[in-house]
Amino acid sequence: MALWTPSNLSSGTLAGWYKADAITGKNDGDDVDSWVDSSGNSNTLTQTASGADPSYQTDEINSLPILRFDKDASPGDNLLSADLGGDFEPGTGDFFIAMVAKFPTSSGTQFIMNKAPSGTQGLNTFLSGGNFIFRPQTVGTTTNQIQQNSPSVDAFHVYVCRRSSSTLTGRFDGSAFSDDDGSKVNDGDLNNDADFRLGSTSTAGLDADMDLGEALIGTGTLTDADLNRMSGYLAWKWGLQDSLPSDHPYKNFPPTFTLPTVYWTGAGNLADVSDASNWSDSAAPTASKKCVFNSTSSAITGGTLTAGEVRFTDGFTGNLGTSAAPIQITTDLLSIGADDASINVNSSSIADIYIAGNGRGVFVEGTATTITVESLDDITLNLTSITTLEVRHESGAGGMISTQAASNVNIGYGGNVIGQGDLGGVDIFQGGYLFQHGGSDVNSIELYGGKCLFHGSDIVRPESVIYSGLLTTRSNQRHNVDINAIAIYPNGTLDVSDSPLTEFSGAITSYGGTVILGDGYTVAMS
């Protein structure tokens, strides 16, 4: 299964797809004069007026950025627009819009999304009287529209609207619009020469005051199932899933879909992993496929691979790249479980990596969100950024995992980790082991059993806790170690003997635990 995204809609459905997290090269507060289209249609939105750009704001919701539009600027400011041409000419037919947005104020009339010359029929999505209104018809007409009455000000919400067989439908955080009884009919003609606009309209003084995380527009029919998927996708991506109603199909998990599976044959050019002749369907891999390496002893030397999932299973006994020249893979999920293969990967845009086993080595460089390792063999993770690293093995004797950096590390039964770069919060459980060395930091440590040999630099955050297990700097003669406040409970031990370079910048608190200091320490007890 793979996570559903709007890219899984029928071909030709999306006309424009604008994601704030797809904007690159901007710092907090920077002006944005163009917004790249992620639909593949190259319908980039631009601002042509100098100094009239929306601003880029980092880490606004669910650790993601947004674009900020300011209606208090001069008319026409904070407007992004594009000529969508034939990509969005639904006429009187079906179309849809979707967005994640926050409106700091609800005063006046604010046009959010618009494609209509002044005074003529077209797409009009706006705030008026504090209500969110969806109206594909003549400007100023109040009939045959749907609206969400009084959405909470200064809070992000998910809005999804469609016209299907002339009938309007709206979803607000996955629930029907408050003013949508399922009978509102509107066949306004959207075939016009007007540009598509975000943040304002062609009429002066109707600018929007909004924070916009993501916006989509498209033609064709959005089914009821698609409405739910779109609401679920946006809610989970932007951390708004708690706002979905209890009976929503994606209340407890994001939408997924089953990828068609293709298999590696190795019958083509081994210098290009994406060569169509190498795959069972005789087509180059795409993000809509699951690519499985389950046979051959191919030595794959080059190329790049893009797929929805990539899996290496027993039966593949070859080599994928080398540690000096790893193969770039872009995928949502990379799973490695080949016991007699050498897998060397540059993890370009990989969300989840699962390593179950490897006989001749795994090498991964780049960045990743979540890595789970359950391997008996040694693994090298030469990644500059890992959000969460989980290491364990049911045998109690997993391989040694070498990692450069990770924000969160969970080491369970049978997990063995060498930390060679800075780590964030580290949890070590019974049977887990961490060797932190090379003068690198750990933000905090919590031991629930297991052992940590710390020859790093600092344990930074107060307060680290040893509930059970051993934290030791014993025999460290090379690196200055600074340990902040630490608490030790029964069955927990702190041992800093024979490590003269270890210092404490906070208190040592024992709740029945054992503290072994060794020579050279002066202790004040209270």
Class of domain 2-243: mainly beta
Cβ distance 507 to 488 under 8 Å? no
Q: Render pLDDT for 294-303 as a digit per residue (tens, 0 to 9).
A: 999 999 999 9
Average pLDDT, the chain: 88
Q: Render pLDDT for 261-272 as a digit per residue (tens, 0 to 9).
A: 999 999 999 999
CA distance linking residue 162 with residue 94, whole number of Å: 7
Q: Render pLDDT for 313-367 as a digit per residue (tens, 0 to 9).
A: 989 999 999 989 999 999 888 999 888 888 999 987 687 899 886 567 788 888 7
| Beta-bridge partner residues of 331 | 350
Q: What is the residue extent of each domain of the chain?
A: 2-243, 259-376, 421-526
For the residues 111-136, what does the mean pLDDT come to? 86
Q: Of residues 20 and 50, which shows the higher confidence score?
A: 20
- State residue 97's pLDDT score: 97
- State residue 379's pLDDT score: 85
Q: Render pLDDT for 392-432 as a digit per residue (tens, 0 to 9).
A: 988 888 888 888 888 889 999 999 999 888 888 899 999 99
Q: Of residues 118 and 491, which shows the higher confidence score?
A: 491
- State residue 120's pLDDT score: 67
- State residue 142's pLDDT score: 64
SS3 433: strand
- Give me the count of residues in the chain: 526
Chain-centre distance for alpha carbon 247: 25
pLDDT of 187 > 90? The answer is no
Cβ distance 329 to 346 under 8 Å? yes
- State residue 311's pLDDT score: 95
Q: To which H or E segment does residue 230 belong? A: helix 224-237
pTM for this one? 0.65
Residue that is written with structure tokens 């800093």 in the block: 496
Q: Render pLDDT for 473-509 as a digit per residue (tens, 0 to 9).
A: 887 766 678 888 899 999 999 998 877 777 787 888 8
Cβ distance 487 to 511 under 8 Å? yes
pLDDT of 75 > 60? The answer is no
